[in-house]
Structure 1
Amino acid sequence: MKIQVRVIRTWSEFLELRPEWETIFEELEEQNPFLSWDWIESWVEIYGHRYKPVILVVVDSPRVIGIAAFYFDEKARHGLTKTPAIRWVGDQFVSSEFLDILAPVYQKYTVWWNVLNWFLENRELNWNLLVLDDMIQSRFSVQIVEQISKKLSLGYHRAVKNVLPVLYFPPEWDKWKHSHPHPDFISMMRNRTKRLRKKFRVEIRKIGSQDELKSDIEIFFELHQKNWNYKGLPGSFVTPEKREFYRRITRRFLDRNWLEMRLMRIDGAPATVEVGFALNQVYYSLQSGYDPRFRRFSAGSILFYEFFQELLGDGIKRVEFLRGDETYKFRWGAHRRYSVTQWVGNRSLYGIAYPFYKRQKNRIKHAALAVFS
């Protein structure tokens, strides 16, 4: 039987997809929290009312082989212009990473082929661009989208978006210390930790219950804002929507035993909080918060130092620091990796011209850097 694409156009209907979503999620070559049902559902609950869903369910009867979760943004901004665009569910407001279609690796080409052809053949949305943000540069889907776009004569451009530092652990803490690219840094952290614990009463607590989470997530918001306001910046949690998203996703991930949240107190006062998720031997370091009063004691780094020892003991093999090339990530031994944005344009003038414009702009930028570097 011919492969079919079923379209879901309401959020309530989308929320009925959970069983199929969970089944395919278990088949992914690498499951990550940003493609989990809990993350996507929480985004839909908080932000979905702003947009029209375009959820494509690819069926090789009787089995669902892939799901592509998009929404329609009628006034998406691209540089100085606005144009109707199709975007990933979950790609705005909440720092999602590793976004992709939901399909096992052996079905990805088939699913992408049917998804892109569906968008070409169904023009009632009047879209100009498919904007695929926050995809890992090395992932199979990135190459597939480029190949199919060229086959279908679509506008196409890809550009690096963010640095995504990643740290690989050996099996044991002692081996990691001895193989670390910055051994002096590890020695310094060990000494700072000893001094802090000698001078103050230091408590590091893992949040393990919903009651603890209910109070400690509010401490996290407060510390995060304090740190960013100290730097003269607004911080990530100025909107009530984003705070509510984090309340929901931490509750849900705690129920799955994915939440890894640590609160450090110094002489009873909240000093720093680390919020992340652990799934399939990978730790995702999502957000942190610090009280600026404790900066001179390197409280955040000391929390990491002790926490990393726990992670190694729990069998974690990789730490994803997520977006941003802050210096501290590389002091721990992280390597650079990149996320990309892909723009796929339809066959309209704008759909062809905008990716071409982005491509030429990128070439000019790199040529200028080569000349003046």
Structure 2
Amino acid sequence: VYRPAPRVALNGDFEEYLSRDEKKQRHEIRRKMRRAAESGRARFYVVPKDADIQPELEAFFHLMIQDPNKALFLRDVMRHQMSHTIRAAHEYGYLWLAFLEVDGVKAAASLNFDYNGKLWGYNSGVSRDHMELSPGWVLMGHVFQWCCENGRSEFDFMRGDEDYKYRLGGVNQYVMRVKLSK
């Protein structure tokens, strides 16, 4: 076993997804989404397939580097590689990029690949501003709701064992590493 790769099975019903989660977490997701909606300050949107991806990509990178660990990861070489991967995914229709705006400013982003009836989580970013609205949690609630409403059967975090993935209902699958020798 190389690394855990949590996945969340979805069946098309957001309320059913929430009901599987532990009561406290279910209540938290609903409360945070409701509070953001009632504030009138938050807006969720998915970048259209025909959008000019470059400004959206720059906004995504700006949010991503708000996390010091991701800032270290996103050096020039990695940024270049990710830019090419993201542009290719956009060109072929596999890119799924969503933002949560607060007061008209992008506060959280979720960059994924939409393939084979699933969303595959590639990376995310959250601004340290507007934390009172929990933009990362609110965004993920909207992402899962979108999946349920648009026929996606699963959200695959692809890898990593960060606590929030399990709090959102992730169940481990595993990335395996096999070494063959002669």
Q: What is the TM-score when the length of structure 2 is the normalising length? A: 0.89
1:287-326 mapped onto 2 (5 Å cutoff): 287-326=123-162
Residues 1:206 and 2:52 aligned together: no
The aligned amino acid for 2:28 is: M
**Cα distance change, pair 260–226 in 1 and its aligned pair in 2 (3 A):** same
The answer as to whether partners of 1:275 and 1:285 remain within 8 angstroms in 2 is yes
**Kindly tell me: are residues 162 and 312 of structure 1, through their superposed partners in 2, closer, same or farther at Cα, counting changes over 3 Å?**
same
What displacement does 1:269 show? Answer: 1.7
Aligned residues: 182
Q: CA RMSD in A?
A: 1.9
Q: Deviations over 1:230-273 (max 9, x none)?
A: xxx643211x2322222222222223322110011110222111
> What one-letter code is carried by the residue in structure 2 that aligns with 1:224?
M
Code of the residue aligned with 2:63 in structure 1: it is: L
Residue 283 of structure 1: aligned partner: 119
Stretches of structure 2 lacking an aligned partner (at least 5 in a row) = none
Query: Aligned pair 1:335/2:176, yes or no?
Result: no
Q: Is the 8 A contact 1:223 1:272 kept in 2?
A: yes
Instruction: Tell me the SS of whatever aligns to 1:344.
Output: coil
Letter in 2 for 1:252: A
Call closer, same or farther: CA 1:250–1:234 in 2, change over 3 Å.
Answer: closer
Give the whole-Å Cα distance in 1 for the aligned partners of 2:33 and 2:83: 31
Offset at 1:213? 1.5
* Partner Cα distance (2:49, 2:94) in 1: 12
**Higher relative contact order, chain-length normalized (CA < 8 Å, sep 6+):** 2
Alignment of 1:32-181 (within 5 A): 160-178=1-19, 180-181=20-21
Identity %: 20
Letter in 1 for 2:8: L
Corresponding residue number in structure 1 for 2:67: 227
Letter in 2 for 1:161: Y
Structure index of larger Rg: 1
Query: Are the structure 2 counterparts of residues 194 and 212 from structure 1 closer, same or farther at C-alpha, using a change threshold of 3 Å?
Result: farther
Secondary structure of 2:179's counterpart equals strand
Amino acid aligned to 2:163:
T
Q: How far off is 1:183 after superposition? A: 3.2
Cα distance in structure 1, aligned partners of 2:24 and 2:54: 39
Q: Distance in 1 between matches of 2:139 and 2:71?
A: 24
Look up the match of 2:58: 218
Question: Residues 4 and 160 of structure 2 are in contact (CA less than 8 Å); yes or no, is this contact kept in structure 1?
Answer: yes
Q: Is the 8 A contact 2:12 2:150 kept in 1?
A: no
Give how far 1:211 is off: 4.7
Helix, strand or coil at the partner of 1:198: helix
Whether 1:236 and 2:76 are equivalent positions in the alignment is: no
